[in-house]
Amino acid sequence: MLDYRILPAGDAAVVVDFGDRIERALNNRVLALAQAVAEDHLEGVVETVPTFRSLMICYEPATLGYAKLVDRVQKLIVEASDVAYPSRLWRLPVCYDLSLAPDLVEVAERTGLSPAEVVARHSAITHHVYMLGFLPGQPYLGDLPEELVVPRRATPRGKVAAGSVGVAMAMTCVFPRETPCGLNIIGRTPVALWDPRRPNGSLVEPGDKVIFDPISLEAFEAAAKHPARCDPSLVSA
Give me the domains of the chain, ranges plus CATH numbers: 5-82 (3.30.1360.40), 89-236 (2.40.100.10)
Distances, alpha carbon 208 to alpha carbons 129, 145, 170, 212, 222, in Å: 5, 19, 17, 13, 27
Report the mean per-residue pLDDT for the chain.
93
Specify the pLDDT at position 237: 47
Which long-range contacts link 27-31 to residues 24+ away (Cβ below 8 Å)? 27/52, 27/53, 27/128, 27/130, 27/131, 27/206, 28/85, 29/4, 29/80, 30/54, 30/55, 30/206, 31/85, 31/206, 31/207
> pTM above the 0.85 mark?
yes
Write out the H or E segment, with its range, that includes residue 10: none
Look at the alpha carbons of 147, 160, 133, 213 in this order and tell me if their dihedral is positive or negative.
negative
At residue 233 the predicted structure's pLDDT band, cuts being 50, 70 and 90, is low
The per-residue pLDDT for range 9-66, each reduced to its tens digit, is: 999 999 999 999 999 999 999 999 999 999 999 999 999 999 999 999 999 999 999 9
Contact predicate 201/55, CB 8 Å: no
Whether residue 208 is preceded by a cis peptide bond, meaning omega within 30 degrees of 0, is no
Distance, CA of 100 to CA of 97 (rounded, Å): 6
Please list the residues that pair with 6 across neighbouring strands. Answer: 16
CA atoms within 13 A on the CB side of 93: 20
Q: pLDDT tens digits for 92-134?
A: 999 999 999 999 999 999 999 999 999 999 999 999 999 999 9
The Cα–Cα gap between 205 and 226 comes to 24
Residue 236 has pLDDT above 80, yes or no: no
Distance CA(136)–CA(30), nearest Å, equals: 20
Count of CB atoms within 10 A of residue 193's CB? 23
Q: What is the pLDDT of residue 234?
A: 64
110 φ, ψ (degrees, to nearest 5): -65, -35
Write down the pLDDT at residue 217: 97
Q: Residue 186: name the closest of 124, 105, 128 by CA.
A: 105
The residue among 215 and 200 whose pLDDT is bigger is 215
